[in-house]
Chains A and B, each alone.
Chain A
Amino acid sequence: MLRLDRGRWKRLSAVPLVAAIVAVLVVPGPSQSAASPPAGLECLTAGDNAFDLTATGGYAAMPDGNTIYMWSYAAGGGAFQLPGPTLCVTAGVKVTVVLHNSLPEPTSITFPGQVQVLADGQPAQPETDAAGTLTSLTTTAAANTGSVTYTFTAGPPGTYLYQSGTDAQKQLQMGLYGALVVRPAGHPERENDRADSAFDPDREYLYLLGEIDPDLHLAVERKRAYDFTRYKARYFTINGRSMPDTIAPNHADWLPAQPYGALIHIRPYDPVGNPKPALIRYLNAGSVSYPFHPHGSDEQLIARDGRPAQGPGGQDLSYSSFLIDVAPGQTVDTLMIWKDAEHWDPQGNPIPVPLPSLQDQIVGPGPETWFAENPYLGGEPGELPPGVVQNNQCGEYYHVAHSHALEQATNYGASFGGMMTLIRIDPPAGCPA
């Protein structure tokens, strides 16, 4: 047995102490380690394009304090999440989705826009009950422990829903939906095969729109009947979240089952430094149209339901709109840039309207307080109250984006909430951390 004298013990004990001190100094503090992941679309990919999804129950948090029992899809035996994981594949590849069912009733997945879907190797088929009534649009996995394997060849590039096809009125409302992104082969930086659909891969966003009638969810949770003639949605969501949770980071601590944020964070268009637009993928998993209004910036609608906006000869039929009206079951893809159209400049091209002096502004909250005391993006602040050096982080600009059916921009009737988020535009040089 190795014996050490006391001096050696002391020397050896000094080594881990020094190492611990170095580690404490080197290891990032909580603000770094807990830093939010970047906003934007988060893909679930698989090398063999095979995905395991488990239909399961869990709880979603609403900003007003309510907690809603939901059904949705967990990825690969992981935790429940709303919406289901965003599956990303390339056009033309064979895709496998194994659905495991832990719900107390049969369920299934349909893939609108994908053709020749097989279920356990056979063509996926609608199902009926003994009386011949349609119960499912496609092959189901049995209640509690059933599973079914769907395979298909990914269709044209674009954005698609995947969703329950069983008792769809109820199961879709319960949250059984997610997004399927099909990327063009060889051009993952494009929305579709057209060269003019190129976007900045770091500025790709998901707006998966939905709604919740809490009474239905409570009935399902308590295994009670629900009268659909009394259906009334009270919560309206983007990626399973409502404002202000939509502007929280992806994987925010307080939203463990709602991992996807909906903040758009861009910089102004610049032909050299920032030439590519952001891409926003809209999907409607709800029961009514959501007239989504991006407010401060029009968007260029380039595709709908996985099909590019083009004529028979390939002519560009995309168009700019201030209203992206997404119908139930529909997807719409838009490109967005934020352009300094008038080139305002405090010296060479000043805004010809004198700014009100500080005392003439309402110093306090209100619509006007999105203002940083400087109308020029990233400019030096103007007159500020004593002791205040900056009104926002770095001279950035925010505007809201929301459903223009204003009841959909509420949390159970309380605005601002619901289907609303923010678009943040940083100064051309970016925003220092």
Chain B
Amino acid sequence: MVAIPFRIPRPRLGRLVLALLVLALVAVSIVRFGGYADARQGYAVPHDGQLEATLGIRFTQAAVVGDGGLVELRYVVLDTQKASAFQNDTKHPPRLRNERSGKLAWRAALMKQGHELRPGQSYYLLYLNNGGAIKRGDKIEITSGQRRLAHVPVR
């Protein structure tokens, strides 16, 4: 076989085009996927020791359920007394803010009061997913009182 000579008339322009293409690939990848959490592999919720010490709970999962209409927030009890106060404060449930879109889910739809909370046991809140504010793969910020927990991935 014979090598076919090929010459770019302006070699510097060719290098520039390649560099721009690489940059474009990186940029579209970030824009396309950067705002999403990995919903399947290695799911982990960030920990905040101060938040946990204040509320007596650790958030362990945020998930879109109810065919997209509800958001479940699950937590495990660390300190029974503080967790009871958190759970019984039904007028001030945590707010969920979509970090990608800024949309909020704020209205808890199902929250049982009066549990005898057991340390190490998990409980949950359900939120109405206002206007589809939160979608699977998003990351949310959970605000409870003065405490915030950012970059919580949504399954």
Contact = CB atoms under 8 A, between A and B. Distances in A.
Q: Do A and B come from one complex?
A: yes
Interface of A: 2-8, 10-11, 13-14, 17-18, 20-21, 24-25, 29-31, 34-36, 38-39, 63-65, 244, 247-249, 252-254, 263, 265, 362-366, 369-370, 372, 387-394, 396, 398, 412, 414-416, 422, 424, 431, 433
20 contacts: A2-B1, A8-B4, A10-B18, A11-B8, A17-B22, A18-B21, A30-B37, A31-B138, A36-B68, A63-B124, A65-B76, A247-B65, A252-B63, A254-B63, A254-B155, A362-B91, A365-B109, A388-B130, A393-B68, A416-B112
Please tell me the size bucket of the interface on B. Answer: 35 or more
Contacts of B25: 17, 20-21, 24
Contacts of B131: 389-390, 393-394
Given A31-B36, A365-B111, A248 B65 contact: yes
A399 B36 CA distance: 31
Interface in B1-36: 1, 3-8, 11, 14-15, 17-18, 21-22, 24-25, 28-29, 32-33, 36
A36 B90 contact: no
B121 interface: yes
B90 A364 contact: yes
B5 A5 contact: yes
B149 interface: no
A242 to B, nearest CB: 11
B109 A263 contact: no
Nearest to A34: B39
A396 to B, nearest CB: 6
Given A2-B3, A64-B121, A253-B43, A393 B24 contact: no
B86 interface: no
Contacts of A17: 18, 21-22, 24-25
B124 A244 contact: yes
A424 B3 contact: no
Nearest to B60: A65
A7 B135 CA distance: 46
Contact of A393 (B36, B38, B69): B69
Interface string B40-84: 100100000000000000000101111111101010100000000
A366 B90 contact: yes
Contact of A63 (B69, B92, B122): B122
B75 to A, nearest CB: 10
B125 interface: yes
B66 A398 contact: yes
B137 A390 contact: no
Interface string B122-146: 1111101111100111100000000
A21 B21 CA distance: 8
Interface of B: 1, 3-8, 11, 14-15, 17-18, 21-22, 24-25, 28-29, 32-33, 36-40, 43, 61, 63-70, 72, 74, 76, 90-93, 104, 106-112, 115, 120-126, 128-132, 135-138, 155
Given A11-B6, A30-B39, A63-B124, A390 B21 contact: no
Nearest to B123: A414
Contact of B36 (A30, A366, A416): A30
B155 A252 contact: yes
B93 to A, nearest CB: 5
Contact of B33 (A20, A29, A265, A433): A29
B87 to A, nearest CB: 10
Nearest to A15: B21
A244 to B, nearest CB: 5
A406 to B, nearest CB: 12
Most buried by B among A388, A390, A392: A392
Nearest to B21: A17
Contacts of B63: 248, 252, 254
B8 A365 contact: no
Most buried by B among A244, A252, A422: A244
B106 to A, nearest CB: 7
A263 B106 CA distance: 22
A362 B107 CA distance: 11
Nearest to A372: B128
B21 A364 contact: no
A31 B135 contact: yes
